[in-house]
Amino acid sequence: MSLFSDLDFVKENYPLAGHTWYGVGGNAEYFAPVQNINELRRAITRASQQNLDIKVLGQGSNVLVREEGVKGLVVKLEGDFSKFEFRGGAIIAGSGVNLGKLVLESVREGLAGLESLTGIPGSLGGAVKMNAGGRFGEIGTSVESVELIDMQGSTFSKHKPELVFSYRQNNIYESIITSVELSLTPADSEMLLKRVQEIWIYKKNHQPVNRRTAGCVFRNVSGRSAGEIIESCGLKGAENGKAKLSEKHCNIIIAEEGCTSSDIIGLIEKIREKVRELADIDLQLEIDMW
């Protein structure tokens, strides 16, 4: 009998490739597309009781799943977690909300603060968890509070004085973000839309859009661009199987048709080895490798 046989929304041996932007990788031992807080609580407490690893999958835009798949429970927040509402100058949004949609809706409402995230894919929860951003700004500056649930099913909040954001991280540990309050500033919608268009054009010119990627693979190093470091080591366009380093942005790996997780992992290791050899730098991953 399955550990989750009484939870009909939990699926076994579920393929994850279709849920990631790379479109590669194996299956989740258990997969729970939860629709509300009660389903989430039931799934994670059961997994915790059985000492299973628990991972949260947003829109898979920053995840590389190995070919052997993922042991334990993978949770995906849907349903109630995909809703949001405006309250004055704030947005209250579930973790599963599409970040791009949130950016555009805030611009239409004449609220500034998220336009710097234009072109960054993924869910709101994933964006907050890694403090997503780039040269134009980071999401952490707009986060007022988060609602959380720990692995024992207890819910609690963290507010701005308690929240600490830094480069690609924060102080939210051992818990799942269920919703976020974002504090924004009233502004002219047309001006904001123009800013969104400017950022999008910049990214289109400097990044491979509409390709199978997971964004930047490596973290920047002490303020230095990882992409520039990689390019300086002569790795532009480097390939491994069907995985190729972008010609436009040397910190983005493209998964070509027929690519496998092993192709991407092999290219990652090739890049790290070369950079270690030529620049004496040990590149750290920005993407999550499961």
Task: Indicate if the pLDDT at residue 94 is higher than 70.
Answer: yes
Interhelix angle 99-108/189-206, rounded to 10 degrees, is 150
CATH 3.30.465.10 fits 83-205, yes or no: yes
> Residue 11 and residue 19: Cα distance in Å, rounded?
14
Residues of each domain in the chain carrying CATH 3.30.43.10: 11-80
| pLDDT at 229 (0 to 100) | 98
pTM comes to: 0.93
What kind of fold does domain 11-80 have according to CATH? 3.30.43
- Phi–psi pair at 105, nearest 5 degrees: -65, -35
Instruction: Provide the pLDDT for residue 122.
Output: 94
Q: d(Cα 146, Cα 172) in Å, to the nearest integer? A: 9
Give the percent of the chain with pLDDT over 90: 93
List of residues 6+ apart from 77 with CB closer than 8 A: 34, 40, 56, 58, 94, 95, 96, 123, 125, 176, 178
Residue 254: pLDDT over 90: yes
- Average pLDDT score over residue span 231-239: 97
| Residue numbers annotated as active site | 168, 216, 286
Q: Are strands 63-64 and 288-289 parallel, antiparallel or unpaired?
A: parallel
* Residue 164 pLDDT greater than 90, yes or no: yes
Per DSSP, the three-state class of 178 is: strand
d(CA 15, CA 28): 6
Domain at 226-289: CATH code: 3.90.78.10
**Residues carrying CATH 3.30.465.10, the chain:** 83-205
- pLDDT score of 48: 97
Where are the domain boundaries for CATH 3.90.78.10 in the chain? Answer: 226-289
Task: Check residue 2 and give its pLDDT.
Answer: 78
Q: Partners of 112 in the beta sheet?
A: 185
Whether 134 shows a pLDDT value over 90: the answer reads: no
pLDDT exceeds 90 at position 72: yes
Q: What are 195-207's pLDDT values in tens digits?
A: 999 999 999 999 9
Poorest-confidence range of 64-73, 118-127, 164-173?
164-173
215 pLDDT exceeds 70? Answer: yes
Encode pLDDT of 23-71 as tens digits.
999 999 999 999 999 999 999 999 999 999 999 999 999 999 999 999 9
Are the C-beta atoms of 162 and 147 separated by less than 8 Å?
no
Q: What confidence score (pLDDT) does residue 210 get? A: 87
Give the residue among 289, 277, 290, 279 at the shortest CA–CA distance from 226: 279
Residues 6+ away with beta carbon under 8 Å from 56: 74, 75, 76, 77, 125, 126, 176
Q: Considering only CA atoms, which of 170, 172, 57, 171 is closest in space to residue 123?
A: 57
| Residue 46 contacts residue 5 (beta carbons within 8 Å) | no
Average pLDDT for residues 248-274, to the nearest whole number?
A: 98
What angle (nearest 5°) sits at the alpha carbon of residue 138, between those of residues 289 and 236?
Answer: 55
Is residue 273 over pLDDT 80? Answer: yes
- pLDDT computed for residue 247 by the predictor: 94
Residue 209 pLDDT grade (very low, low, confident, very high; cuts 50, 70, 90): confident
- Looking up tokens 């990689």 gives 230
Which residues does 91 contact at the CB level (< 8 Å), separation at least 6? 84, 85, 102, 106, 111, 181, 182, 184
Round to the nearest angstrom and report the end-to-end CA distance of the chain: 26
pLDDT for 277 equals 98
1 or 127: whose pLDDT is higher? Answer: 127
**Is the per-residue pLDDT at 1 higher than 80?**
no
The secondary element (H helix, E strand) that includes residue 230 is helix 226-232
Average pLDDT, the chain: 96
